[in-house]
Amino acid sequence: MNQEKISSILKKVAKIGDPKFLETAFSFTASERKDRDKLVPDNLQRTIVDEQDDLSRRLDYSLLMDSASVRNVLKTRRLANLLIDEKGALKPDIIRKAISLLKNHLYSLGPSRQDEGIRNKHILQALELLDSDKELKFSLQKIFKPYQHKQAEEIIRQTLNLTDKTVVTDAHARRAALAAWFCYLRQAVGSCFATAPAIILHDEQPHQFMKDISELFGTGRLKRTFEGVEYSVPLCTSSGRGGLNELVLFPDDFEDGIKRLSENPGLIASLEAADVLNKEDALKERIRELKKHLHQVFEKFKDDHGVKFFSAEGILKRILMKKYEITEEDLKEFKKRPRGMIHGSLLLQVPQGSKGSGGKGEACSSYEAALKRAEIGYKMLHNNTLLRCWEYTLASFAETKSEFAKWNLYSSLGLKPDEEGGIGEALFQYLKLRLDEANRKVEEYQLEYEQIFTQVKTLESRIRHAGEEEAKWIKVEYQTRVNELRTIEELRDKAHGNARRLAGMYDLLLDHYLDLFPKYFQEVYDPEMVEMTQGPYDDSPAGFRLLYKHGRSNSAQWTPIRDPQEFIQNLAAFFTAAERELHNEPDFKGAQEVLSEITTAIVTHIRTDKFLETAFHRMARAHGMPIIENPLEHLDKVEKKPWVYTSGGNLHTLVSVYFLRSSNPSSLNRWVENPMELLVFIADTLKKVPYKQMEAFVKNERKSMLMHSPTHAFLLKPGFCGLKKAWENGDFTFTWVRDHLILPMEQFAANLMLNEDMMEYLVKKLSLEVPLNYKHYFLKLFGQMKGSMRCRDFRSHLATTIDHEMGLKNKGIPVLSAAKIDSLLFQEIPLFPIYQLRDRVQKIISRLDLESDTFKKEILSLLDKLVEEVPRENVLGAKTLYETILGLTCLVKGETSLPFDLIDKIKLLMESEGFAMPRPIIFADTNWIQNDFGFVLNPGNGKLELWRMDRYAIEGEPMASWKMWLDGTRKHPDWGIFYNAYEYQI
């Protein structure tokens, strides 16, 4: 390394021990690399090698969006565009070149990029399959542009970031499918019951994934048929909220918060789409302009020193309301207008900042159109739209029911005659009225019949006793009476037949209506129904919405029902359509008039407030919910509505229906009283699976089994090293796990000691998590701790003091949780004085399989220069040691990525040298953006606990919100494993 480069590094890279050391070292190297690559006119190399460093730093700095997701979406979109030509054909040479390039740049060395390697390995595996698997290539070539489905075309445009005017072609459809396959699927909303099996399909069964995409584009739905029953779900045309409504804590420092948000690429992209910011302006100018808007949005936060939350959605709405000079009251009034009065599509060309001649209504319409564009712009940056829509289409299989009586809609209609205000009551009352009327007619005809019959018998007697001449005249009258008797008899019998038909019509009509309801309605998953009241790791209930199908098979023409007016309107349309269908049924031949009157009676009834109010009451009773008084005036308090409801999402149903199974997948379930029981339960369950089935997990550690906690479905990884050792051995599971997995962690953590410098270092780190108003008092209490303490005693002292100190509580809640203390200890211990840094670095790099001794000497030489100005008494932690070695390697090699997993090598060596905690027992993929699940011996309390962590166990945090599911407090629902993986394969 020459002197000029060393001087440049010393100027631009933070010192050792600075939290920004790795970030600045990586950025320095990425910038140098980018300058070198400018001379290489190769879009493919830029796509694969470019670290998107500036974009990533702005994302990580600016509070909103996950930078790993953005990088992944951009890389896979660009790659798909490069691999398929304008005619829709694959480019084999480019595929092979991409494989070669990606193999050399698999693992990133950047900060918080521990999962980049997994994402890149997924892309590499897909590329290698695409190169070698002829059937897969053929499946991709069978994908064509959507047929008569505008929403599907829009999904493709958003997936590839095409303009609204772009005409979608077969090439676009295949590029979108390829980008969706390359993209790494992670859970975004409360859809874990769908995300977990979707990840298995997407990652392990690509042929089926391509078949699904082809079917969705070709028919607009996914269909499964087995045992003579067809299950069909329409293409979900929404990619969800995309994090728009996620609540984020606003920083204590007002100006710092504004500065951070003004650099957010997501907000900038969304406001460009809404024509608030000009794309042609320089980035600095757009950031400056956004900062002005943010000052106005957060004006109330400036003097508020309490805890404050915001969302991207809230920011966009406030900026756009100010642009169009409207208020929330204006929007509420606008939405109450009848649909016919709203002509939003005619008002999109209103000049910027103008309310137009249409007044508030026109401004509101323009606002809604601009907000929609802004939201799409925000979501496209970090979401693959097609992949999300496919995942959420699968979610609808979770609520597939073959019997209409099990539908949410059924319970609201009140089809039984004794349900007050229901359709059954109205129908029964109408039929009873008609039946009573028919019976009266029968009685009247019978009475008249009997009178005439008596007259006929009298005339017969007179004829027998009359003379010849008189008999002639009597016979004439007799014949008249007989004819009249026959007419009355016919009318009586007809009236009696009509009464009999009316008496049986209630059950007959209901049977036909029940058959017709699924033809005209369907309940599907709605990803936009997400309440942000749950914690970040608590799955919110899944939302399901009612669609009206208009009796059509083309799902593009189906209508989602969003409010009471649409519900009543579509329900009325159903009964009108049902009348036409019943006219052709043999059971109702000749009953057209009655059917017409019945339809009128039902439609009139469902348009009454009584029907809708009692429908809410019936829903509440059916779901065991409290009944809301005057529900029409308090719709926001009604959780279960006839057209929309929340559910946990049935994983068993989804797996059974999608994978064509007549019964639920095989599973073992139990509740647990402690994490050790859970670990033993998992290992024992895997031991019961025939080894032949388990070989696939041994060969591929990323292969998954479905597993669920009481509230979350996720992916068990039997091939992960620690867990694999537990189920492969034949010893008694509890004893083996205790002795071989738990004991090493206990021995490491038992006697960890902290001196004054170490405690001061930890307290300063923890103070960064404490709100500004409480920081001074926190440091006053803990900043000058004397003597030495065991790690567990230190944690206990902090947690107990905070729990009892009113000055460290906000509305009764501690300002720093015990979980945060545990998390810091996990990533930092063992601590060490900085003078030991060189020896520790040297020990690790001497055992690393790097290029040469010269290279290792350069690392140590650069280390010496970077620590010259650092005080010798400073203390460092395990994470700093890891980041130091990674950053030095990055600087000396001049590379930001490598073909091998350097992070794993460094971490394993640190663990073997005692420079980091022993590796926890990582056993599952959470489905969340970055974390795995693992069993950790908490260094703060010495207990075995369930944690979420990155795959190298560099950072982690206890699953404190799941405590009741791990300590036996709650016994239902339980934990479960779907142990026969072949049951969810096609």
Q: Rounded to whole angstroms, how far apart are CA atoms 942 and 742?
A: 11
Q: Rounded to the nearest 5 degrees, what angle is found at the Cα of 143, between the Cα atoms of 48 and 527?
A: 75
Mean pLDDT of the chain: 89
For residues 477 and 310, give the distance between their C-alpha atoms in angstroms, rounded to a whole number: 96
pLDDT score, position 344: 42
Closest residue by Cα to residue 338 from 361, 321, 354, 360:
361
Mean pLDDT of 662-679: 94
- Judged by average pLDDT, the poorest of 358-362, 624-628, 862-866, 963-967 is 358-362
Helix (H, G, I), strand (E, B) or coil at 147: coil
Confidence of residue 873 (pLDDT cuts 50, 70, 90): low
- Rg value, the chain, Cα: 36
Distance CA 40, CA 119 (A): 25
- E strand or H helix at 981, and its extent? none
Residue 356 has pLDDT above 60, yes or no: no
Please tell me the chain's helix, strand, coil percentages from 3-state DSSP, rounded to the nearest 5.
60, 10, 30
pLDDT in tens, 19-31: 899 999 999 999 9
What percent of the chain is modeled with pLDDT above 90? 62
- Say which residues have a Cβ less than 8 Å from residue 451's Cβ, sequence separation at least 6: none
Each residue of 582-640: pLDDT tens digit? 988 888 888 888 899 999 999 999 999 999 999 999 988 888 888 888 888 888 888 88
Q: Is the pLDDT of residue 289 over 90?
A: yes
Q: Between β-strands 705-708 and 668-670, what pairing exists: parallel, antiparallel or unpaired?
A: unpaired
Q: Which residues pair with 810 in a beta bridge?
A: 813
Question: So what's the pLDDT on residue 441?
Answer: 85
Confidence of residue 866 (pLDDT cuts 50, 70, 90): confident
Q: How much is the pLDDT for 351?
A: 44
Position 365 pLDDT exceeds 50: yes
DSSP helix/strand/coil, 360: helix
d(C-alpha 945, C-alpha 959), whole Å: 8
Q: Is the pLDDT of residue 346 over 50?
A: no
- pLDDT tens string 114-132: 889 999 999 999 999 999 9
Q: Across the chain, how many H-helices and E-strands are there? A: 40, 24
Angle at 667 between CA 946 and CA 223, to 5 degrees: 110
Amino acid in position 938: N
The better pLDDT of the pair 408, 246 is held by 246
Distance CA(494)–CA(714), nearest Å, equals: 66
Say how far apart CA 982 and CA 154 lie, in whole Å: 36
Q: What is the pLDDT of residue 537?
A: 56
pLDDT of res. 872: 62
Q: Tens digits of per-residue pLDDT, 904-946? A: 999 999 999 999 999 999 999 999 988 899 999 999 999 999 9
Q: Which of 30, 79, 22 is nearest to 54 (CA)?
A: 30
Let me know: does 268 contact 377? Beta carbons within 8 Å: no
pLDDT for 401: 66
Regarding predicted confidence, which is higher, 162 or 302? Answer: 162
Average pLDDT of the segment spanning 532-538: 50
Residues in the chain: 986
DSSP letter string, 805-863: -GGGEETTEESS-HHHHHHHHHHHPSPEEGGGHHHHHHHHHHHS--S-HHHHHHHHHHH
**Given pLDDT bands bounded at 50, 70 and 90, which one contains residue 794?**
very high
Split at pLDDT 50, 70, 90, the class of 439 is confident
d(CA 955, CA 950): 6
Q: pLDDT-derived band of residue 404, with 50, 70 and 90 as boundaries?
A: low
Containing 543, the helix (H) or strand (E) segment is strand 542-548
What is the per-residue pLDDT across 32-87, written as a single tens digit (0 to 9) for each? Answer: 888 887 777 788 998 999 999 999 999 999 889 999 999 999 999 999 999 999 99
What's the pLDDT score for residue 99? 97
Higher pLDDT, 306 or 595: 595
Phi-psi region of 223 (alpha: psi -120 to 50; beta: other; left: phi over 0): beta
Q: What is the pLDDT of residues 163-175, one digit of tens each?
A: 999 999 999 999 9
When mean pLDDT is compared across 46-55, 149-158, 394-403, the lowest value belongs to 394-403
Alpha-carbon gap, residue 851 to 557, rounded angstroms: 62
> What tens digit of pLDDT does each residue of 816-842 get?
999 999 999 999 999 999 999 999 999
270 band by pLDDT with thresholds 50, 70 and 90: very high
pLDDT at 907: 95
